[in-house]
Amino acid sequence: MATTDPDFPTPEYLARLERTRAEMEKRGLDLLVCVDPSNMHWLTGYDGWSFYVHQAVILGMEGEPVWWGRAMDALGAMRTVFMSDEAIAGYDDSYVQNPEKHPMSILGQLIEGRFPNARRIGVELDNYYYSAAAHAALQEALPNCRFFDQVGLVNWQRTCKSPEEMVYIRRAARIVEAMHQRIVEVAEPGMPKNVLVAEIFKQGIAGADGEWGDYPAIMPMAPSGMDATAPHLTWDGTPLTSGVPTFFEIAGVHRRYHAPQARTLFLGEVPDKYLAAEEAVLEATEVALRMARPGNRAEDVANAFNMTLNARGFMKEGRVGYAVGLSYPPDWGERTISFRPGDQAILQPGMVFHFMPALWLDDGGIEITEPILITEDGVECLCSTPAKLFVK
């Protein structure tokens, strides 16, 4: 039972379990083994940087979910989960990163003992924290069970945020606004990139409006010039120079809830190509966000964006956005809905996305992106950061 300040009241967790079990029943599952740290947190409140060893939340069709992990992390579970201490099970440290024996064999025994009638088990087959070896060891330990890939089952229950979750996401939005403001305040030619990133990080963790900042599930991406033709480079000690764009793809985070937002900074005069790109992106964004409303499909947003952008002579590769919320490294996306052609998911009130109309050009990148909430009758941009190139 949580002895630290819990993130949510117990009834919210119980409602989440009920929603998840309804879906499990629909799919004919007896048991779900969740290893995604975000799903573990969402179901139980568990928090801790312990996902580098094998751990899971086990959810049967009744009773408390079971937190299972390394024995030393069971103490962290006792301090963060809503369940009783009986629902927490730790395994011996000799199973940690030991090629001779796999902790999933222990989990098999636990499942046999606590859920003797479970036969149809859902697992998150394509999750970072469910390795091929983990799956093999669990299958071997439970030879009478059948396993089913349910990688998105819990993630999909998370798409519509509760009012309590929106409180945290709105705090995260305040934080990312403050981070972007800090960039504009301190950036100048000659400043080493890492010194600027240090300022961004300080602001992000110091927080905003008196609310504390948590660590982001993706580190700041802050490439300049040619490095910004590649989307996922982080930073080094190279000084900022005039005449090239630097984009900052960062997130404010509060209690693991993310508000990601990117802006692009130009020191000095902006080349015409980037002014044209800015105009095209902003126009296409406006058109696309009109399509981001309940009842429309995810692909409608992408198609509206791409059509407008292409008419302006620009092309975008990749998704124009994705669902976000509670998250742990290495990804702040929820890995459910993407704004891309073919994604037929129907938008609903309470869904939160990172609308992500980044362009990577031949000599740099431009990112002006927004965390957005689908409302009862449209869309809300969660940040008030000015939607434009930052020029200084």
Report the site for a copy of itself in 69-108 (rule: CB under 8 A).
71-73, 75-76, 78-80, 93-94, 96-97, 99, 102
- Name residues contacting a copy of itself, limited to 249-308 (CB under 8 A): 255
If one counts every other C-beta atom within 10 angstroms of the C-beta of residue 371, the result is 27
The interface with a copy of itself within residues 28-57 (CB under 8 A) comprises 47-52
Residue placing its CB nearer to a copy of itself in the complex, 174 or 255: 255
Contact positions with a copy of itself (CB under 8 A) in 331-360: 331, 333, 335, 338, 340, 342, 360
Q: Shortest distance, CB of residue 371 to a copy of itself, whole angstroms?
A: 18
Q: 238 or 241, CB closer to a copy of itself?
A: 238
User: Under the criterion CB under 8 A, does residue 226 sit at the interface with a copy of itself?
Assistant: yes
Binding window for a copy of itself (CB under 8 A); candidates: 17-25, 114-122, 227-235, 307-315: 227-235
Q: Where are the alpha helices (DSSP H) in 187-325?
A: 193-206, 272-291, 298-311
Restricting to residues 164-223, name those near a copy of itself by CB under 8 A: 192-195, 197-199, 201-207, 211-215, 218-219, 221
Examine residue 363 and tell whether it contacts a copy of itself (CB under 8 A): no
Enumerate long-range contacts of 53-56, CB under 8 Å, 24 or more apart.
53/96, 53/97, 53/103, 54/102, 54/103, 54/104, 54/107, 54/129, 54/134, 55/129, 56/107
Q: Which residues contact 44 (CB under 8 A, 6 or more apart)?
A: 13, 57, 65, 67, 77, 80, 81, 82, 83
Using the rule CB under 8 A, give the single segment among 230-238, 281-289, 348-356, 382-390 that binds a copy of itself: 230-238
Tell me whether residue 161 or residue 256 sits nearer to a copy of itself (CB atom): 256
Q: Are 46 and 82 in contact (CB under 8 A)?
A: no
- Stretches 60-68, 146-154, 269-277, 375-383: which one binds a copy of itself (CB under 8 A)? 146-154
- Residue 374 to residues 49, 295, 334, 347, 362: CA-CA distances in angstroms? 31, 10, 16, 7, 34
CB-CB contact of 73 with 94 (8 Å): no
Least distance (Å) from a copy of itself to the CB of residue 79? 6
**298, 288 contact by CB (below 8 A):** no
